[in-house]
Amino acid sequence: MNGDHGTPITNIRVRLVGEDGNAFAIIGRVRSALRRGGREDLIEAFTHEATAGDYDHVIQTCLRYVDIE
């Protein structure tokens, strides 16, 4: 699986700059982007991983799955 060396697992872009910084809002935006990008297969794993730690862990998980703007 990609995403281990700085390259996200997908090429899906998610805008976080200037958006709500709440962890659950961020997770929701990434989940929606994965769905729109046709990667429903990753939503469960992303959600499980993202919710398994603190705020920094949420951001790191997002960076593993999508390209953050």
Structure tokens at 57: 């862990």
Pairing outcome for strands 67-68 and 13-14: parallel
**Tokens 């990753």 belong to residue:** 42
Q: How many CA atoms lie within 13 A of 12 on its CB side?
A: 24
Q: How confident is the model at residue 4, as a pLDDT?
A: 52
Q: How confident is the model at residue 13, as a pLDDT?
A: 96
Mean pLDDT, contiguous 10-residue spans, the chain (69 residues): 71 90 95 98 98 96 95
Angle at 8 between CA 6 and CA 10, to 5 degrees: 165
Sequence spans of domains, the chain: 13-68
Q: How confident is the model at residue 20, as a pLDDT?
A: 82
